[in-house]
Amino acid sequence: AIFPSTSDEPPPDDPSFRSHLRATIGRIDASYRRPEAREAVPFLLAEIRNPQRRSSIVDDLLAQAHHDFAARIAQAVLEGELTAGTRADLLLETVHAAALHHALAHDAYDPTFADRLATLVVEGARSHPSPAERQPEVRPERIATTMRDRTLTTRDGTRIVYRTGGRGGPALVFVHGWCSNLTHWSAQLQHFASSHRVLAADRRGHGRSAAPARGYTAAQHAQDLLQIVERERLRDIVLIAHAGGGPTAVHFADRHPGLVRGMVLVDSNISGRTTLGRPHSVDRSPLGRLVDQLTGPDAPARFEAMYRGFFGPLAGAAGDAAVRDATQVPLRVARADLASLAADSEGAARRFQRPVLWLTAETPDVRGIRALFADVHFGVVAGSGHFPHLEVPAQVNAMIERHLTLIEARSAVP
């Protein structure tokens, strides 16, 4: 095996592990009746049962669980290679390369990985057209090279990790929300990389980026993002931000209007009405009460319960993974980043004149939002909680595509 063994890993030939995987995939497969799902799942099972493939599938990959690698599996399905069952040897090589690329050796065996993998396989097959309908054909060699992870050191010495790939304009720059990370945009990055340059970063204090003592403001996050945009030489971008990432996008657009053609704000917070006072006199607003919950010995448990409440009942494995990610964010970062949402972003929002899509899971405050943005449009998804891009990615992707068409139309008007 390429990864060092840990005491938490099951042996490669552990029948209970293989039985659990087969039973999980079979159970999920039985809940669907589409031919694509019935094709994809047996193919994956055959590869897992194949002794010649076991070293690269079970030993090296399945025993090392990581949500980002799971997203790579979903990408492979969406590219049609699992569904089609063609060039399987190349698929396995590129998946293996993806695991190496993301240095998964530090992750212990995760007993939930089989469920997450099975869900991704079936959902990917359901959402992808049959092989005969695919145009153009995507070769599996592209799977491992579509995205690149890079690092940048900001002017104040903070290490920021970001992911970029794809080609075409306008470039789509994704900004995650509070206690999230760039991998939560995986479904959007993979969907749009075939037609757009895409980029997502772990904001300071989140994901794999460093967590300095200070700098957790929308203005600083926007400055960090600017350095990445400048490094990648992006000049024509659409900002797509979720929740607490909304103020970062608005501040960026306000300071650099010539770079931004439009925005998509997913269940975002753009309000200066909530005021946080000094640490000993936090405002009794909902935001202030959230900050209060992140103090004291029970703060970790309260935080996890609170974050889990952000997801709808159908979030499943994606929601569980996001909650695990959130609990890895230091509480001092969570408090500082949350408190920064009280800063006024409304003035910056009113100055932005380009098209904005306000996308939410609940009926939006149309009058209030129209008072903030000069050219705003609305989209409401069905069956989601606070993380639509994770919970119902197909709906979100379709709405983003439509908004990009609108942005192009606006740009074409003299």
The enclosing domain of 304 has a CATH number of 3.40.50.1820
Examine residue 379 and state whether it is found in any structural domain, yes or no.
yes
Examine residue 52 and state whether it is found in any structural domain, yes or no.
yes
- Extract the tokens encoding 399: 């709405």
All residues at 6 or more sequence positions from 237 whose CB lies less than 8 Å from its CB, including other chains: 170, 171, 172, 173, 229, 259, 260, 261
Same domain, 161 and 298: yes
- What secondary structure letter does DSSP report for 164? E
pLDDT computed for residue 407 by the predictor: 92
pLDDT computed for residue 391 by the predictor: 92
The angle formed by the CA atoms of residues 304, 309 and 314, to the nearest 5 degrees, is 120
Same domain, 174 and 111: no
pLDDT computed for residue 388 by the predictor: 95
Examine residue 287 and state whether it is found in any structural domain, yes or no.
yes
Same domain, 112 and 178: no
Q: Can the peptide bond before residue 11 be classed as cis, meaning omega within 30 degrees of 0?
A: no
Examine residue 56 and state whether it is found in any structural domain, yes or no.
yes
Examine residue 3 and state whether it is found in any structural domain, yes or no.
no
- Extract the tokens encoding 122: 């079936």
Contact criterion met (CB below 8 Å) for 145 and 97? no
Main-chain dihedrals φ then ψ at residue 376, nearest 5 degrees: -120, 145
How far, CA to CA in Å, does 317 sit from each of 25, 118, 275?
Answer: 14, 10, 35
- Extract the tokens encoding 111: 């007993």
- Extract the tokens encoding 56: 């690269």
pLDDT computed for residue 279 by the predictor: 31
Same domain, 239 and 369: yes
Pairing of strands 376-380, 356-360: parallel
pLDDT computed for residue 57 by the predictor: 43
Write out the H or E segment, with its range, that includes residue 198: strand 198-201
Q: How many domains does the chain have?
A: 2
How far, CA to CA in Å, does 5 sit from each of 1, 11, 66, 311?
Answer: 8, 9, 16, 34
Same domain, 138 and 213: no
pLDDT computed for residue 343 by the predictor: 74
pLDDT computed for residue 288 by the predictor: 66
Domain boundary residue, one of 120, 142, 164: 142
Domain boundary residue, one of 87, 110, 142: 142
Same domain, 100 and 172: no
pLDDT computed for residue 61 by the predictor: 38
Write out the H or E segment, with its range, that includes residue 149: strand 147-153
Same domain, 346 and 407: yes
What is the dihedral sign for C-alpha 332, 269, 188, 306?
Answer: positive
Radius of gyration of the chain (CA): 22
Examine residue 6 and state whether it is found in any structural domain, yes or no.
no
Q: For the chain, give the number of residues.
A: 414
Examine residue 221 and state whether it is found in any structural domain, yes or no.
yes
Examine residue 355 and state whether it is found in any structural domain, yes or no.
yes
Same domain, 99 and 181: no
Same domain, 208 and 321: yes
CB atoms within 10 A of CB 114: 20
What is the dihedral sign for C-alpha 86, 1, 187, 236?
Answer: negative
Alpha-helical segments (H) within 309-387? 316-327, 331-339, 346-351, 366-370
Q: Show the domain range for 42.
A: 15-142
Same domain, 129 and 156: no
Q: Is 282 helix (H, G, I), strand (E, B) or coil?
A: coil
Give tens-digit pLDDT for 129-144.
Answer: 433 333 333 333 333 3
Q: Which residue ranges of the chain lie beneath pLDDT 50? A: 1-14, 17, 24-25, 27-43, 48, 53-145, 272-284
Same domain, 205 and 315: yes
- Extract the tokens encoding 309: 């409440």
Write out the H or E segment, with its range, that includes residue 260: strand 260-266
218-231 and 246-255 helices cross at what angle (nearest 10)? 60
The angle formed by the CA atoms of residues 249, 255 and 258, to the nearest 5 degrees, is 95
Main-chain dihedrals φ then ψ at residue 164, nearest 5 degrees: -145, 160
CA atoms lying within 13 Å on the CB side of residue 403: 27
CB atoms within 10 A of CB 210: 16
Distance CA 134, CA 132 (A): 6
Distance CA 203, CA 224 (A): 8
Domain boundary residue, one of 114, 142, 170: 142
Main-chain dihedrals φ then ψ at residue 314, nearest 5 degrees: -100, 10
Task: Tell me the whole-structure pTM to 2 decimals.
Answer: 0.65
All residues at 6 or more sequence positions from 378 whose CB lies less than 8 Å from its CB, including other chains: 357, 358, 359, 360, 364, 366, 369
Same domain, 28 and 57: yes
Burial code (b: 16+ CB inside 10 Å, e: under 16) for 26-51 equals eebbeeeeeebbebbbebbbebbeee
